[in-house]
């Protein structure tokens, strides 16, 4: 022991000077620990990595030395030799909306649990050029995989097909051959919402959609149309919004003049807020005259006037699924997670078709307590 190898000599820490945990003192290395514990650096490494064939007494001695020197292994040195960084890249585009932000947060936590670090690249822009250069930036950091939380189709397309050298897991509502994907089933969620309106007796159900470049929105349009079609109901042209309450308000004004219509499926809660505002302003009460369903269940939805019936998405699980997907493609684990179906949350913005009869009058039942948050 105390082998006079070139390292120990090179370090040249005078035995007396070492103790002071003063400022400039360079962080301890595996050799410092080895010397203090009276073992070779390799034995320390074995302890660090929990390898077998270390006598318990030795292990204890090493652990004691580690603690005493406040030693932490260098991730750089480790990455250099193992060729694994245990680091993932996360790209989030667009404004920090509730959905993407939540997904990112829970992905982050899941990654931490799996002992991976996450280098995040958030960006407001969503053009192909900056997206690609951001992805390449992450690759240059030697991330082992990239997770892309993409709302806009363009963001997904930007990374489609290009060979980055690392796997990409997209959190997106549309499929692309070239990358793996996890998602929440927007189509099914929309059918849930529209199905609810149909059950309430509505026949003329309009739709305020998200922007055409939004994949979630497109799936919701599909679901809306499919559910209507299946019940032999007409699907009038959707009104295309931009997710903002303002665009909901604008379309709400238009809708207010459509006297046939008795229900609106709005593609997110913010726009639903605008729609309700416009309808009420035009004297069409919600849910008295018109039923409105939103999508997302943002925290505020419960406190709209009236409290909003909406479709809740589980972003917690989505974030975890993203991490599960990463582990899957990295081969450390199982297969790609299946999409989850959102839940319908019935509140007070929907009511049975009744009082104001559009074309086919019917009597209103007074069932369904309005408030009762998560009822149904």
Partner DNA sequence: CTCACAATTGTGAACGCTAACAGCATCCGC
Partner DNA sequence: GCGGATGCTGTTAGCGTTCACAATTGTGAG
Pick from 25, 162, 305, 360 the residue near its own copies by CB under 8 A.
Answer: 305
E strand intervals along the chain: 87-93, 117-123, 145-149, 168-171, 180-182, 205-209, 239-240, 263-266, 291-293, 310-312, 343-345
Q: Which is nearer to DNA, 40 or 244 (CB)?
A: 40
Q: How many CA atoms lie within 13 A of 97 on its CB side?
A: 21
Collapsing DSSP to helix, strand or coil, 263 comes out as strand
Q: Residue 273 to residues 160, 208, 234: CA-CA distances in angstroms?
A: 35, 12, 25
In the complex, what is the shortest distance from the CB of residue 331 to its own copies, in angstroms, rounded to a whole number? 15
Q: Does 82 bind DNA (CB under 7 A)?
A: yes
249: partner contacted, choices its own copies, DNA, none (Cβ within 5-8 A by kind)? its own copies
CB atoms within 10 A of CB 369: 9
What is the greatest pairwise CA distance in the chain?
97
Which of 35, 46, 153, 206 binds DNA (CB under 7 A)? It is 46
Site for DNA (CB under 7 A): which residue of 29, 247, 262, 267? 29
Pick one of 96, 161, 234, 361: the residue that binds its own copies (CB under 8 A). Answer: 96
Return d(Cα 346, Cα 291) in angstroms, integer. Answer: 11
Q: Which of 24, 140, 335, 367 binds its own copies (CB under 8 A)?
A: 140
> At closest approach, how far in Å is the CB of 49 from DNA?
5
State how far the Cα of 260 lies from the Cα of 275, in Å rounded to an integer: 16
∠ CA 204-298-172, rounded to 5°: 80
186 binds its own copies (CB under 8 A): no
Residue 368 near its own copies by CB under 8 A: no
Nearest to 228 by CA among 261, 204, 200, 258: 204
3-state secondary structure of 334: coil
Of 3 and 305, the one with the shorter C-beta distance to DNA is 3
Interface with its own copies includes 117 (CB under 8 A)?
yes
Residue 39: contacted member of DNA, its own copies, none (CB under 5 to 8 Å, by partner type): DNA
The single residue among 13, 18, 58, 98 that binds its own copies, judged by CB under 8 A, is 98
Angle between helices 215-230 and 186-199 (to 10 degrees): 40
Encode burial over 7-21: b for 16+ CB neighbours within 10 A, e otherwise: ebeeeebeeeeeeee
259-275 burial, b at 16+ Cβ within 10 Å, e below that, comes to eebbbbbbbbbbbbbbb
Stretch that binds its own copies, among 11-19, 110-118, 330-338, 358-366 (CB under 8 A): 110-118
Q: Does position 53 bind DNA by CB under 7 A?
A: yes
Helical (H) or strand (E) element with 48: helix 41-48
58 in contact with its own copies (CB under 8 A): no
CA distance 171 to 167: 13
For tokens 């400039």, the residue is 24
**Of 7, 18, 132, 222, which one interacts with DNA (CB under 7 A)?**
7
Residues in region 207-246 near its own copies by CB under 8 A: 244-246
The 261-300 site mask, x for binding its own copies (CB under 8 A), equals ---------x--xx-xxx-xx-----------------xx
Binds 367: which of its own copies, DNA, none (CB < 5-8 Å by kind): none
Q: Residue 303 interacts with its own copies (CB under 8 A)?
A: yes
Q: How far is the CB of 276 from its own copies (least distance, A)?
A: 7
Place of tokens 């963001």: 155
Distances (CA, A) of 40 to 3, 35, 51, 62, 123: 8, 7, 15, 10, 47
Interface with DNA, residue 142, by CB under 7 A: no
* 72 touches its own copies (CB under 8 A): yes
Give the residues lining the site for DNA (CB under 7 A).
Answer: 1, 3, 5-7, 10-11, 26-27, 29-31, 38-43, 45-46, 48-49, 52-55, 57-58, 71-74, 77-78, 80-83
Give the residues lining the site for its own copies (CB under 8 A).
Answer: 72-77, 79-80, 85, 87, 90, 92, 96, 98, 101-102, 104-105, 108-109, 112, 117-124, 134, 137, 139-142, 244-246, 248-249, 270, 273-274, 276-278, 280-281, 299-300, 302-306, 371-376
């Amino acid at each position: 022991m105390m082998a006079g190898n070139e390292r120990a000599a090179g370090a040249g820490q005078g035995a007396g000077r070492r103790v002071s945990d003063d400022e400039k003192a360079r962080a301890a290395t595996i050799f410092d620990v080895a010397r203090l514990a009276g073992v070779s650096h390799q034995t320390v490494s074995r302890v660090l990595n929990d390898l077998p064939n270390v006598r318990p007494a030795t292990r204890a001695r090493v652990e004691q030395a580690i603690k005493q020197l406040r030693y932490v292994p260098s991730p750089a040195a480790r990455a250099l030799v193992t060729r694994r960084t245990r680091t993932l890249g996360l790209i989030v585009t667009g404004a920090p909306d509730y959905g993407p932000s939540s997904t990112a947060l829970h992905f982050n936590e899941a990654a931490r649990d799996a002992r991976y670090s996450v280098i995040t690249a958030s960006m407001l822009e969503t053009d192909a050029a900056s997206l690609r250069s951001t992805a390449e930036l992450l690759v240059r950091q030697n991330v082992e995989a990239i997770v892309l939380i993409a709302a806009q189709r363009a963001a997904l397309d930007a990374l489609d097909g290009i060979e980055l050298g690392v796997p990409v897991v997209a959190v997106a509502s549309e499929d692309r051959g070239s990358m793996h994907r996890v998602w929440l089933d927007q189509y099914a969620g929309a059918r849930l919402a529209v199905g609810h309106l149909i059950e309430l007796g509505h026949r003329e159900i309009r739709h305020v959609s998200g922007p055409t470049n939004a994949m979630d929105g497109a799936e919701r349009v599909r679901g809306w149309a499919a559910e209507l079609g299946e019940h032999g109901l007409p699907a009038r042209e959707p009104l295309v919004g931009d997710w903002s309450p303002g665009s909901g308000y604008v379309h709400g004004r238009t809708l207010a003049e459509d006297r046939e219509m008795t229900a609106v499926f709005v593609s997110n809660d913010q726009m639903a807020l605008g729609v309700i505002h416009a309808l009420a302003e035009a004297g069409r009460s919600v849910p008295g005259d018109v039923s409105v369903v939103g999508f997302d269940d943002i925290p505020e939805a419960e406190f709209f006037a009236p409290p909003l019936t909406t479709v809740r998405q589980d972003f917690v699980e989505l974030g975890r699924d993203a991490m599960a997907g990463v582990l899957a493609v990295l081969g450390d684990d199982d297969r790609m997670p299946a999409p989850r179906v959102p839940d319908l949350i019935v509140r007070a913005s929907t009511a049975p078709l009744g009082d104001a009869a559009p074309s086919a009058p019917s009597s209103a039942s007074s069932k369904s307590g309005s408030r009762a948050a998560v009822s149904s």
